[in-house]
Amino acid sequence: MQRLAGKVAVVTGGNSGIGLAAACLFAQEGAHVIVTARRNETLEKAIAQIGHGAIGIQGDVSDLEHHAHLATEVRRRFGGLDIYMANAGVITLTSSHEVTPEEYDQQFNINTRGIFFGVQSITPLLRDKASIILTSSLAATKVLDGHAVYAGSKAAIAAFARHWALELRARRIRVNILSPGPVDTPIIGKLGITEQIRPEFLAQMSALIPAGRLGDVQELALAALYLASADSSFVNGIELHVDGGMSLV
């Protein structure tokens, strides 16, 4: 049985990593999927991979006009929305004393502002009993080297979720947080981890995780599917840590 049959789902940052895996799984489970991304070339590749008639909309979540355009397209094509996964994010690892204003602004504009105004813009289109999923990070609650700004930008999401879960209760719209630990995604390469040092990096990270390994994007996608579907119909306002137990150590 397809758990999202006939549902309409938006996944921001759905062109790679966790977002792409979630979008693929949502589509396989019967949802009409819309994904967003900043770069058109990666968006086109993602649409081809997702299949099932998925739709791509290019734009930057830090741009309020992008959210307005997305809402207009959802209304025009589907009339409403059942699942909104605010997943787009960016990370720069820098010690606090070296953080530039540009690095700070980029992370807060995308990770915090982008989520807040994305939800604000799309909420009028959400159908009753819809699901909002906010992608956060283990870094929001666990101190990790070089993560101060990123952690701050993600920590705000927990406050958003608590308020929205209550603000939207009359419509029975659920708001939950998906909080990944280290996951083997393309973002590792963007952090300066070359193919040469990748095995050593993965081994070092794995030693810090009780599960003994990094997470896989499919594991995060399954957690997102749980929060998106009726399987979690009595789950609201939680932060679901999918981190192999790393939050415990």
**Of 84, 104, 150, 226, which is the active-site residue?**
150
How does the average pLDDT of the chain come out, rounded?
94
So what's the pLDDT on residue 77?
A: 97
In angstroms, the CA 92 to CA 205 distance is 18
Query: How much is the average pLDDT of 13-17?
Result: 96
pLDDT per position as a tens digit, 181-240:
999 876 666 666 677 777 887 888 898 899 999 999 999 999 999 999 999 999 999 999
Q: How far apart are CA 216 and CA 168, in angstroms?
A: 32
* Backbone dihedral angles phi then psi of residue 37, each to the nearest 5 degrees: -160, 160
What pLDDT is stored for residue 190 in this prediction? 60
CA–CA gap between residue 220 and residue 184 (Å, rounded)? 11
**Per-residue pLDDT tens digits for 73-120:** 999 999 999 999 999 999 999 999 999 999 999 999 999 999 999 999
Active site residue 150: yes
